[in-house]
Amino acid sequence: MSLPRIAVDAMGGDEGVRVMVEGAALARRRHENFSFLLMGDSARIERALENHPGLAGAAEIRHCEDVIAGEDKPSQALRRSKGTSMGEAVAAVKRGEAGAAVSAGNTGALMAISKVALRTLPGIDRPALAALLPTLEEQDVIMLDLGANTECDARNLVQFAIMGAAYSRIVTGRPRPRVRLLNIGTEDIKGTDEVQEAAQHLRATKTLELDFDGFVEADKINRGDVDVVVTDGFSGNIALKAIEGSARFVTDLLRSAFASSFRSKVGFLVSRPATELLRHHLDPNNHNGAVFLGLNGVVVKSHGSANAKGVAHAVAVAARLLEEDLTARIGEDLGALGDSLLAHGNGAARSSGPSKIESDAK
């Protein structure tokens, strides 16, 4: 029996082939039962593989003449996706040659290509971008949508909750993840009509494997008392960037403070174990790998600036979702929901196609 394969867009990301191949090699050490399809410039990939014999024996190279650029609009990327490293990675999933695709390239382009090639699962109107964010507790929190859909109706938000909960059960091991809708307050009267309606459906539905506990404000996302935060892509992208910016602010502030005087430098040496723990916890490479949930296949987006460790984490996310059969889990949960929401939904979301926000979500 052939090994399950992951297709990697070796040309994506800020540093391209070297980091993508090194990241795949690191992931291969942790998931030896997986093989890889490396899409891109074959000569460059072959040179990079010379430093990673363990990966070379479990990888097939597919030469691609073209690359999707970071500045390409999703519509442009979609028209010329055939023959590009990103397009061929997704196409390999569609053809059944790979179980998942991983890319660190243009987010909007990857979403457009993936949605057209793989289509959405039955019962899902549109896919959502979900990522793991650090918390004060041991478990990360899953947040979606992070930029794929600027406007969402109540049905979209409920679908996001179902998909996020299925993903959370894999990540956290909780049989009933704690789900909340992002809102401007926790009171029942707060929020838009779409958020209010979604909350009513989630409260009323007893067949879902999740615990809906109302609303959460943005300053509580990382406290650790919620497993899945659900919102539209506009608000989610803003919240994500604010969290990432705050993390960089804290680390830069600490670095500046410890370098301000001799006594501060001595204090840094004393407190180094604590600061190293903080740096590790806030390092985005340790949480890298956003997932396009709701597709007929697994597609993982690595942050463009991720290092080899970050790419390895994104590849490991793809491997785990394949091992746990996330797509089937989402389908089962949608079946448990039945037609009640579909009968009362507002129809498809108002936005059509990929969002103009091309998020750099991890």
| 4: exposed, middle or buried (Cβ count in 10 Å: 0-12, 13-18, 19+) | middle
* For residues 30-39, average pLDDT: 90
Output the six-digit token pair for 303.
Answer: 């942050």
- Residue 113, both tokens: 């290509």
Token duo for residue 244: 């990432």
Q: Is the pLDDT of residue 334 over 50?
A: yes
CB 252 within 8 A of CB 156: no
178, 214 Cβ separation under 8 angstroms = no
* pLDDT at residue 359, as a whole number: 43
Tokens of 66: 């073209």
Q: Can you tell me which residue has the tokens 């993982």?
A: 300
Res. 346 pLDDT band, cuts 50 70 90: very low
Assigned token pair, 15: 């540093």
The per-residue pLDDT for 218 is: 92
Check whether the bond before 145 is cis (ω within 30° of 0). yes
Q: How far apart are CA 244 and CA 167, in angstroms?
A: 22
What pLDDT is attached to residue 19? Answer: 92
Weakest mean pLDDT among 117-131, 211-225, 274-288 = 274-288
Phi-psi region of 120 (alpha: psi -120 to 50; beta: other; left: phi over 0): beta
> Quick check: 279 pLDDT over 60?
no
DSSP 180-243: EEE-S-SSTT-S-HHHHHHHHHHHH--SSSSEEEEEE-GGGTTSSS-SEEE--HHHHHHHHHHH
DSSP-assigned beta bridge partners for residue 331: none
Using DSSP's 3-state secondary structure scheme, residue 80 falls into coil
Residue 238 has pLDDT above 60, yes or no: yes
Sign of CA dihedral 280, 285, 290, 291: negative
Q: What is the mean pLDDT of residues 242-247?
A: 80
Percent of the chain with pLDDT over 70: 85
- The set of residues, in sequence order, having a beta carbon less than 8 Å from that of 51 and lying 6+ positions away, is 22
Topology agreement, domain 5-118 and domain 128-285: yes
* Per-residue pLDDT reduced to its tens digit, 107-143: 889 999 999 999 999 889 989 999 888 888 878 899 9
Answer yes or no: is pLDDT of 277 > 60.
no
Residue 347 pLDDT > 60: no
Its CATH class, for the domain covering 5-118, is: alpha beta
Check pLDDT > 50 for residue 355.
Answer: no
> What whole-number distance in Å separates Cα of residue 59 and Cα of residue 53?
10
Q: Give the angle subtended at the CA of 176 by the CAs of 174 and 181, to the nearest 5°.
A: 110
pLDDT tier for residue 349 given thresholds of 50, 70 and 90: very low
Over 60: is that where the pLDDT of 280 sits?
Answer: no
Rounded Cα distance between 112 and 76, Å, is 10
Supply the pTM of this predicted model: 0.83
> What per-residue confidence (pLDDT) applies to 208?
83
169-189 tens-digit pLDDT: 988 888 999 999 999 998 888
pLDDT at 168: 93
Domain ranges of the chain: 5-118, 128-285
pLDDT of residue 282: 58
pLDDT tens-digit profile of 289-316?
A: 889 999 999 999 998 888 888 999 999 9
Instruction: Place 344 in a pLDDT band, splitting at 50, 70 and 90.
Output: very low
The answer to whether domain 128-285 has CATH 3.40.718.10 is yes
Tell me the mean pLDDT in the region 2-30.
88
196 exposure class (CB count in 10 Å sphere: 0-12, 13-18, 19+):
middle
Of 32-46, 87-101, 178-192, 346-360, minimum mean pLDDT range: 346-360
Dig out the tokens for 138 from the structure: 């041991």
What pLDDT, on a 0 to 100 scale, did the predictor assign at position 268?
56
- pLDDT of 2 over the 70 cut: no
- Whether 362 has a pLDDT exceeding 50, the answer reads no
Pick from 137-141, 200-204, 216-220: least confident = 137-141
